[in-house]
Structure 1
Amino acid sequence: MAELGAHLTVASAGDDRPSIFEAVAQDGLMAAVKPALQHLVKVLAESNPGRYGSLWRWFDEVYVVLDLLLQQHCLARCSASFSENFYGLKRITLGDCRQQPLATAGLPKRQHWKSLLLLVLVPYLKGKLEKLVSSLRDEDEYSIHPPSSPWKRFYRAFLAAYPFVNMTWEGWFLIQQLCYILGKAQHHSPLLRLAGVRLVRLTAEDIQALEKRSAAAPSSQALSIKSRVQSAARKALGGAAFSLSTGLSVSIFFLQFLDWWYSSENQETIKSLTALPTPPPPVHLDHAAASALLPEPKTVCPLCRKTRVNATALSTSGFVFCYRCIYSHVKAHQSCPVTGYATELQHLVKLYSPES
């Protein structure tokens, strides 16, 4: 049985294709980096909402710009994405079967821009669609719109169709990977086929060319002023992308440590280390500000100044409001109206009194 599956991990001498495990591993590399950065930004936003709150609200857009810069740098420098270069792979066009160009030669413009758009734009749109589906499910659960409204019927139909669309999308990738394992396809991902490229391993000549390119220092003495400005701009962007790629390479090992730290066998240790006393109220809320924001009776909503209806608490701050008041505020501002802490709709907690 092991002999039959040996070809999945070890390629033959004349085969330059990566194994399915290498291909899948490089796909999951960037997917693991984004949640780690998102958690870091969330912690910063919760600690200082005034300074980092906008960074948390626009995290997807900031990340896609950084991802675009990083992938552009890697594609132009080594004909591969960041994760593909990390695993020693490169992209070549479908016609380059016998004589492969060096990794430093870059891809043709058509394949380069198609690869860049598919690497950056598709994950961004997929993430936005998942967030839209999550928000629509929350609205459908809490019945914000009347049941007979056209918008209610529309997004209920959309929510009913989304699982089938997502299943078709994931099934397309699964079938492509199965064909790649069986040797019936040159791509393990449909996105590579749409870009018109395939993955191969870096050769010794590719590694030598990349090392020479990194060591070479282009002379700028004979350049004109315009060329010097363009060269300086390219160097600045390249330096920023190189710093980002180097930082991500180092952070990958740190992610492994986080996986170990938050594993189940370390939960008791984490609880003992984090068993700290209850933190005090927000520092920026003095007594005058607190008296202005919070009503005297504890049963009054701080937003509408009326007796609370359908009491709902925020898990980020602990204050209690009317459900409709706090839902509208969090959806519009993504923050607690009293403390300013970064807050999302899933942080709303329904309170049930003994009388109800």
Structure 2
Amino acid sequence: MSFVTVGGEASSRPTFFELVAADRLLPSLKAAIAYSLSVYAQRRPSLLRLLDHEDELFFLISAWLHRGSLRASDASFAEGLYALRRVPAARRGAEEGAGGLSPQQRISTLALLTLVPYARAKLDGLHGRHAPQLRSLQALGLQPPPAPAARGADGLADGWRRLALRAFLRGYPCVVAVHEGSRFLYQLLYLLGRSPHYAPGLHLLGLTVARLLEWWYTSGEQALGERAALTPPPPPPPLAPAEGGIQLPDDAALCPLCRSERKNPALLAPTGYAFCYTCVHRHVSEAGACPVTLEPVKLEDIWRLYPGM
């Protein structure tokens, strides 16, 4: 399982982590706006009215942001920041830039991005205000007070409202569980590569999310891959033996100084000849030159060799 795909048609498929980051951006923005308003409201109490209608305020802000982003790049505001876009599922894999979202798809996407979170926020608030009272009554083994006897249209309407509220308080958690479970299932299938849709809303609209600038994601990764594929250049040839220097043995595995198999092999970097470490260290300490080429060398020019080098 790979979270980052490089090259080919798969390179337009965003990673799971990119989609999660885009999905979490708007809730974080809403929390930041609410916190900023609460801080400024301590100096300007008139801003408290905005806090009483923070869901409506954020609905207008998100609608404005999403509308501009959809018109510019066929993406939600968060997806546009992450260089993502929405494309029809049937056109996935077609030539890049070949068409975009239709006006109807943009309107449906805007409604899904704004109305659904707004309705969810209002329903969560309604459930949060009335659920504690119902739970406290159930904990005490009591039943909610029965609806008053119907006395005209007002009494009948009040009875129906209480009945609807009781049904909502008991059924809403199940609806939320089904919704969150479906989102988790879609995300899991997308993560495993079994579905092109990251969320059920995208599947409902027949859309998928693709990368807006594929070259931004692939150029650097391809360059790293090409660089890793290059073979290192061969080392320069060793210097020629000098007159008066020691003769090299016929077997390249033998040390030119002790004429036996090299132990702890070491290389004289300036000349390129290998010896036993103790042999070459003693010779350079005494003579200060390579025993083969007679070139002047220092002790720091002795490099240890390891298996595989």
Normalised to the residue count of structure 1, the TM-score between the two structures is 0.51
1:155 and 1:111 map into 2 onto residues whose CA distance is 35
Equivalent residue number for residue 183 of structure 2: 173
2:164 and 2:114 map into 1 onto residues whose CA distance is 29
Equivalent residue number for residue 104 of structure 2: 110
2:16 and 2:214 map into 1 onto residues whose CA distance is 22
Contact kept, 8 Å, 1:180 with 1:186, in 2: the verdict is: yes
Equivalent residue number for residue 36 of structure 1: 32
Equivalent residue number for residue 198 of structure 2: 188
Contact kept, 8 Å, 1:146 with 1:152, in 2: the verdict is: no
Equivalent residue number for residue 45 of structure 1: 41
2:182 and 2:213 map into 1 onto residues whose CA distance is 31
Instruction: Flag the 1:188–1:204 CA change in 2: closer, same or farther, 3 A.
Output: closer
Equivalent residue number for residue 89 of structure 2: 94
Contact kept, 8 Å, 1:78 with 1:90, in 2: the verdict is: yes
CA RMSD in angstroms comes to 2.6
Instruction: Flag the 1:184–1:142 CA change in 2: closer, same or farther, 3 A.
Output: closer
Q: What SS does structure 2 have at the residue aligned with 1:183?
A: coil
> One-letter code of the match for 2:181?
G
Q: What SS does structure 2 have at the residue aligned with 1:47?
A: coil
1:181 and 1:10 map into 2 onto residues whose CA distance is 11
Q: State the shift of 1:22 in Å.
A: 1.2
Cα deviation digits, residues 199-238 of structure 1 (max 9, x gap): 011235899xxxxxxxxxxxxxxxxxxxxxxxxxxxxxxx
Q: State the shift of 1:98 in Å.
A: 3.1
2:64 and 2:72 map into 1 onto residues whose CA distance is 12
Mark the structure with the bigger radius of gyration: 2
Contact kept, 8 Å, 1:118 with 1:195, in 2: the verdict is: no
Q: Larger deviation: 133-142 or 79-88?
A: 133-142
Instruction: Flag the 1:206–1:91 CA change in 2: closer, same or farther, 3 A.
Output: farther
Q: State the shift of 1:23 in Å.
A: 1.1
Equivalent residue number for residue 13 of structure 2: 17
Equivalent residue number for residue 76 of structure 2: 81
2:135 and 2:89 map into 1 onto residues whose CA distance is 48
2:213 and 2:135 map into 1 onto residues whose CA distance is 55
Q: Number of matched residues?
A: 198
Flag the structure with higher helix content. 1
Residue 130 of structure 1 is aligned with which of 107, 112, 124? Answer: 124
Q: What SS does structure 1 have at the residue aligned with 2:209?
A: strand
2:95 and 2:86 map into 1 onto residues whose CA distance is 10
Contact kept, 8 Å, 1:89 with 1:202, in 2: the verdict is: yes
Residue 59 of structure 1 is aligned with which of 32, 39, 54? Answer: 54
Give me the identity figure in percent.
32
Contact kept, 8 Å, 1:89 with 1:201, in 2: the verdict is: yes
Contact kept, 8 Å, 2:134 with 2:144, in 1: the verdict is: no
For structure 2, the residue ranges without an aligned partner over 5 or more in a row are 138-142, 148-158, 218-309
Q: State the shift of 1:43 in Å.
A: 2.5
Equivalent residue number for residue 155 of structure 1: 165
Q: State the shift of 1:96 in Å.
A: 1.4
Contact kept, 8 Å, 1:172 with 1:190, in 2: the verdict is: yes
> One-letter code of the match for 2:25?
L
Q: State the shift of 1:41 in Å.
A: 1.4
Q: What SS does structure 2 have at the residue aligned with 1:90?
A: strand
Normalised to the residue count of structure 2, the TM-score between the two structures is 0.58
